[in-house]
Amino acid sequence: MPHASNIVHCEGPDSPHAFDMVALQPRNGALDARCPKCRGHGCWNAEIDLVSFRCRRAICDRCNGAGWVETGNDPVALPDIELGPDGKPGWTVRYVPKEDAPEIGPGPSLAVKNP
């Protein structure tokens, strides 16, 4: 049986319901300031049902979902994959200078409106 729904599509972090039910990310001590794009949330709702509060979220490409950014000259940590001694890939953290850190896109959105 279908339930009532009121689905809202958010165009970005400036949309009215973009941060409904999205908690602020805790500061882990390594980063300096809240991300100016996601305002410390790390993600926002790309689509949200205002009745059931089910949602699809978009990860912030400015802070890579951390909610916080580096403002000084400290190296920036980026997730990466490298081969281990046994030849199998594994997750690792790569540190690069702030100037060399690429702006990583979140990939294709799963909450794209169908044309």
Domain residue spans in the chain?
Answer: 7-100
Question: pLDDT at position 71, please?
Answer: 78
Question: pLDDT at position 14, please?
Answer: 92
On whether the CB atoms of residues 21 and 54 are closer than 8 A, the answer is no
User: Residue 54 corresponds to which tokens in the numbers above?
Assistant: 């089910």
User: Residue 25 corresponds to which tokens in the numbers above?
Assistant: 């990310």
pLDDT in tens, 83-98: 989 999 999 888 777 6
Q: Is the pLDDT assigned to residue 106 strictly greater than 90?
A: no
Q: Is the pLDDT assigned to residue 114 strictly greater than 70?
A: no
pLDDT in tens, 36-84: 999 999 999 999 999 998 999 999 988 888 888 877 777 777 778 899 8
Mean pLDDT across the stretch 16-40? 87
